Structure 1
């Protein structure tokens, strides 16, 4: 909050339901409708498909209940950035904030925005489909060696969506809150409905075939053909880690509610509860949806779904030809609400960084509606650039490794703070401490280690993005010191 009472202050306008809907709504974008195709190509069996989602759900729930302790100790805007600063130092916190701004949040906003426009092409009238299609190339220009910059209609629609949602959120937190709660409740109910109808339409012969060799791991190609059997332990673990890149991306952004702690009612209680309830609901939906997929689609069809759109293939089996329209509408609702949550919460991190002198100074001010408007617009700008670049998908693959590393650091921070500040107020203590936090840290390290060994293309580029933040941090610190000296001299 602003210390000067004459300036706008953040308003405590969000309750437990709003926080829970922000957690669930930010997590559920387009991933659950798509990434199971890549997961099944990595692991090749129903049992391991479900196991990947269960492992991811367990990690997410464990992290969420651990963050509850930190949110109670530091109920202020900025969330994970603040936890890292209090546990370690400003450098570690800045590296998280820099990665968050450069790729994690902005790249996710771009990816979700493009997903919205791609599926909008399914439901608009034929006369308008051209204006939403990813295949409608508006501009193409070669650059570099063998590279071509292309601009599609879908990219422009995604940018328009991001701009509109950003504008709505600059008008105050209440508008964003209404959109978030309405759209999240709608998509939760529609997802539960899809799962129920899918299970009712279960085909026994497909179910038995899919689960006959549920734990026999092998790779599948994009046509659903088997690539190998009898994998070595190391290769099998690498396949699981590669498969979890998709499920972790689909389950990410659960921590967004911590960024808006400055606008939550009773944040010491409601942030922790929102984290638990939101991640639990989404975990149940994700695991159930994948069980449903295996009940109506052969593994071959899951692996070879056109453009990886598994939910479209499943819905077509369940509802017939209209199934494509149903899923398209669901994804539009899902991605619209998801992007609203991401846009609403992300700017609060930049606001807190600016208060520490580590971001554009103007980002640390609130507009008349008591929201960080400048932070919202620069976030919009970077997300729009990533939409145009078309590299957001690759960037998110690269950053999954880094996201989990920062989660590990944050959860380890609980142990540091228990030692550094044993007498600090803790309205909520991490459930299962120290066992569950240790399990998460070990699982997270195993995931990152396996990616380093077997899927290095997912690791080093993300680390490089983080490390670019080191010189930026020292430049920002030097500028702050110079400004402070000038102020003192004056």
Structure 2
């Protein structure tokens, strides 16, 4: 029987754009507020962004070896299945499809629509808090954006890849603008209304090492990990990357290093303009919007909305490009409906898998919209009312991050399994610093997971995520294990 194979059409620049473009989405513009809320000292707060980048780099050093060993569609699903068995692969697919990927797509698309709404409001009614589009028309627009990008990626992988390169280039330029804007304002504006001030960086550090609240530091790190989340997205499309043994490691390591530099630079710029006490109170706008507003006035607010809108659009496209490859791979293994492995006869893309992922993402948008709008008290016996002091966006991202951190850490740890089982396998790329580098990564990520259970603001999301994994175990045992598939 013929096994469907995806064409290798993604070159080195497209591979790098997938790594960088799917990561730079909403986190770098919003999560600085969460860090400021949990970490009082600016130097320590910036260290959270550095640590998040170091973790991503350590993970990428190990992950690149695994990805080049198995350059197949599906990414983590393939690595977990090969290392730990079919149930581990299925559980990743279960959590990735129902929570992580669709939650990410829904959150990004919602933020795109909100940023678009901000642009309309500022263009039509400058300085006024006017609702140009009502709530449900905005949800309809969100669904339409998801559907349009899904249709584009179904038309051809090369189309989605080219769009990713263009949008990623714009996003990198936008972050460079944020990094340099405080210094440009100082140089070009004689009397800026909100000049950047070095004293906003004080206090840089706590009085003593024992004065650090490590639980809150860990909570801040979860938000930063969301901002860095997506650097593994090259693996699901590895089957479509040209010369994968060279291009995958280059895209992973080069992309992560660029992200660390951009993120740390942008957050330093934020702290030069917005005092930490004021940053932590920015619940109804992004930090980037307030930053640009203070430096450039109303024009800056409009610029920031455009930057955020473009950024989340690129990340949204990247997720709709790589996400369906999981369903395609699971369909080939009969751990999902076999129809999901079908390729479009004209375009050569997993069009049905793209449609299924986009469809569930659209339903997620509408479902979360209904819960948010009507504040439904009980659904299926669970109290789903959002905490009064926590934004819906943060609830969704924390919920998604629990499953992501758990399984992605196992994917990185699979390097130990493969070094033991496949000692003579051809490895064009070998992890630098093995076994210390992957061991440090796994230990630190395990500490992050444990901290989620101990932090009141994230405990509910962690428990629900663990329970959902338990449901996945039951589904696997009932639907696949006992049927002998």
TM alignment of 1:203-352, pairs within 5 A: 207-216=197-206, 236-352=213-329
Q: List runs of 5+ in structure 2 lacking aligned partners.
A: 187-191, 372-391
What CA distance in whole angstroms lies between the structure 1 residues aligned with 2:236 and 2:365?
24
Deviation, 1:205, is 8.3
Conservation of the 8 A alpha-carbon contact between 1:136 and 1:153: no
What CA distance in whole angstroms lies between the structure 1 residues aligned with 2:38 and 2:209?
11
Deviation, 1:158, is 1.2
Q: List runs of 5+ in structure 1 lacking aligned partners.
A: 139-150, 218-229, 485-490
TM norm structure 1: 0.87
TM alignment of 1:28-427, pairs within 5 A: 28-124=24-120, 152-201=136-185, 207-216=197-206, 236-368=213-345, 369-390=347-368, 393=393, 394-427=395-428
What CA distance in whole angstroms lies between the structure 2 residues aligned with 1:231 and 1:110?
40
Deviation, 1:198, is 2.4
What CA distance in whole angstroms lies between the structure 2 residues aligned with 1:111 and 1:244?
19
The Cα offsets for residues 260-282 of structure 1, whole Å up to 9 and x where unpaired, read as 01111011221121111111111
Conservation of the 8 A alpha-carbon contact between 2:25 and 2:311: yes
Q: 1:232 to 1:411 in 2, by over 3 A?
A: same
Deviation, 1:153, is 2.8
Conservation of the 8 A alpha-carbon contact between 2:10 and 2:241: yes
The Cα offsets for residues 343-374 of structure 1, whole Å up to 9 and x where unpaired, read as 01000011101111101111011112111111
Deviation, 1:379, is 0.5
Q: 1:9 to 1:231 in 2, by over 3 A?
A: closer
TM norm structure 2: 0.87
Which stretch of the first structure deviates more once superposed, 416-425 or 382-391? Answer: 382-391
Moved over 3 A (4+): 125-129, 133-138, 199-208, 230-233, 478-481
What CA distance in whole angstroms lies between the structure 2 residues aligned with 1:232 and 1:467?
37
RMSD over aligned Cα, in angstroms? Answer: 2.4
The Cα offsets for residues 17-58 of structure 1, whole Å up to 9 and x where unpaired, read as 100000111001111111111110111221121011001000
What CA distance in whole angstroms lies between the structure 2 residues aligned with 1:63 and 1:362?
33
Q: 1:297 to 1:263 in 2, by over 3 A?
A: same
Give the 3-state SS of the residue equivalent to 1:370 in structure 2: coil
Q: 1:448 to 1:238 in 2, by over 3 A?
A: same
Conservation of the 8 A alpha-carbon contact between 1:70 and 1:83: yes
Deviation, 1:472, is 1.6
What CA distance in whole angstroms lies between the structure 1 residues aligned with 2:444 and 2:341?
36
Conservation of the 8 A alpha-carbon contact between 1:395 and 1:462: no
Q: 1:479 to 1:158 in 2, by over 3 A?
A: farther
Identify the residue that residue 374 of structure 2 maps to in structure 1: none
Which stretch of the first structure deviates more once superposed, 412-421 or 303-312? Answer: 303-312
